A and B are shown apart, each in its own frame.
Chain A
Amino acid sequence: MGEHMKDFSIVRLKNVSLEMGERVLLNQLTFSLSSAEIVGLIGPPGAGKSLLLKVIAGLIPFTQGDVWVCGESLVGKNEAALVAHRQRLGMVFQNNALFDSLTVFDNVAFPLRVHGEVDDVEIRHCVEKRLTDVGLSHIGPLSIHELSGGMKKRVAIARATIHDPVLCLYDEPTAGLDPVTAAKIYALIKSFSMTHQATALIVSHELDTLFAVCDRVLMLHNGQLLFDGSPQHIGDAENRAVRQFARGSDIGPL
């Protein structure tokens, strides 16, 4: 099973831990994500969800274990060696991390421009198509500060996916948005994953909407993986903390 999983996994973690001084922030995490799979990552605040996304992105080095992305290990890789790894992934940050000195068009075009692999005509074509995909075809010339929260999230998704990554990491892509806009964002994520066969790992606290789009759910608590299974079965999980979190109850160990 292990070798089979390794062959078809886009991401694989084996006994990954992250310690900072006395604190254990991630504790012996082992799981894998398959191609085109949409996986939800849930857990109470401080569980280590955003940290885990940054570990997979190679932004934060882990202290134990190993992470493989597309079969390549991240152990011992320096910044220069991580460039190839990062070109395979896209990431939407919790507060979007859009470059506020650039326009919407330039933000989305940024990954294509800096790597200099495509000419200006093709960049324009790609950016306009991606902005149309996210429903923002008319806002290319606007500055980032002129956009609403939902628009910023869509621009962040457009920028993260413009280079067709095989893995997309979404850190609370619907935080602070109304339910209708949140549903549209999830539909967008699902549509992108299906069209481009991209694996998605989504951190979210909006469980109902998240469970509706994802194939699998992981739950972290205090850096430990408490649940790895389908969203349909999380309510009946053996662990009390998982059941409490999934049901949104105030009675339980959390």
Chain B
Amino acid sequence: MKLLRYLGRPIVAVARDTGGMALLFIFALRALWPPQIERDETLRVMCKFGYMSLPIVAATSVFVGGIMVLQAATYVTEFGAQSLVGWATGWATLREVGPVLIGLMFSGRVGANNTAELATMNITEQLDALRVLAIDPLIYLFVPRLIAMIAMLVCLTAIGDIIALGGGAVVAKLILDLDVRLFFKSLFELIHLQDLWLSLAKAFLFGATIATVSSYFGMRATGGTRGVGRAVNASVVANAVVLFVADYFMTALGVHV
């Protein structure tokens, strides 16, 4: 009996959290029609989440493109496939590495920050204060964060993809002495528009999951400052897991597109 209870507790906790996050997301969808959007709060968090994340995403993306070229360099040299370097870098960056790595960076920086902020607001009774002022915290706080994270992660992924391809072209020139024009020629000839759409669709989905997971753990935090730490920890772990699960299904879907 004890063993069953020991094994069952985490299963119940995961089921409870999954259900809670699903309900939170459904609530946000209901708030979109008729639109109940706090414009000022949405713009404020858009700037905080998007603009402030730009330097770190740009820095990461340069190296993402470079790493793709470095990984390919051995085989490219061995088989003399220089003309395919641009395509290979673009294909891997757009379909997989770009959105996943930028999503993880975004989750670490923005998602953790969001959980900490909402958890602190909950513990210091600021969420109760909003409710006493007849303001629904979900409409005032969660819906703007959901919209901002989706919009900003799509923009950051688009920018990051471009920077990663630029970084790849530079590294290809330095390591493989590959002409930049040849790099982009193979990229534009062999990459399909679907690859770009898949990248942005993944970013859209990751933005929604990061907003939902990080807000859920923030808004249900209890137990003082330790509670904030626990909420951030749970949010970071859950966000990474959910991101890879979502990536698996998007990739499976994308293979057939």
Residues on A close to B: CB < 8 A? 54, 57-59, 79-80, 82-84, 86-87, 89-91, 93-95, 97-100, 110-111, 114-115
Contacts and interface: CB of A to CB of B under 8 A. Distances in A.
B96 interface: no
Contacts of A99: 126, 129
Contacts of B125: 93-95, 97
Contacts of A87: 134
A89 B132 contact: yes
B129 A97 contact: yes
Nearest to A115: B134
Interface residues of B, number: 13
Give the secondary structure class of A's interface: mixed
Contact of A59 (B124, B126, B132, B135): B132
B126 A97 contact: yes
B133 A59 contact: no
19 contacts: A57-B131, A57-B132, A59-B128, A59-B131, A79-B136, A83-B134, A86-B132, A86-B134, A87-B134, A91-B132, A97-B124, A97-B125, A97-B126, A97-B128, A97-B129, A98-B126, A100-B126, A111-B134, A115-B134
A59 to B, nearest CB: 5
Interface of B: 38, 124-126, 128-129, 131-136, 140
Most chain-A Cβ atoms within 10 A of its Cβ — which of B38, B131, B133, B136?
Answer: B133
B34 to A, nearest CB: 13
A93 B133 contact: no
A114 B128 contact: no
A201 to B, nearest CB: 13
Contacts of A91: 129, 132
A95 B124 contact: yes
A125 B133 CA distance: 20
Nearest to B137: A79
Nearest to A94: B125
Given A95-B124, A97-B124, A97-B126, A90 B132 contact: yes
B124 A114 contact: no
B128 A54 contact: yes
Contacts of B124: 95, 97
B133 A114 contact: yes
A246 B81 CA distance: 89
A79 B134 CA distance: 9
A117 to B, nearest CB: 12
A110 B133 contact: yes
Contacts of A100: 126
Contacts of B133: 86, 110-111, 114
Contacts of A97: 124-126, 128-129
Given A86-B131, A110-B133, A114-B135, 18 more contacts: A54-B128, A57-B131, A57-B132, A59-B128, A59-B131, A79-B131, A80-B136, A82-B134, A84-B134, A86-B133, A87-B134, A90-B132, A91-B132, A97-B125, A97-B128, A98-B126, A99-B126, A115-B134
B243 to A, nearest CB: 27
Nearest to B117: A101
A103 B3 CA distance: 53
Nearest to A90: B132
A114 B136 CA distance: 11
Contacts of B128: 54, 59, 93, 97
Nearest to A79: B136
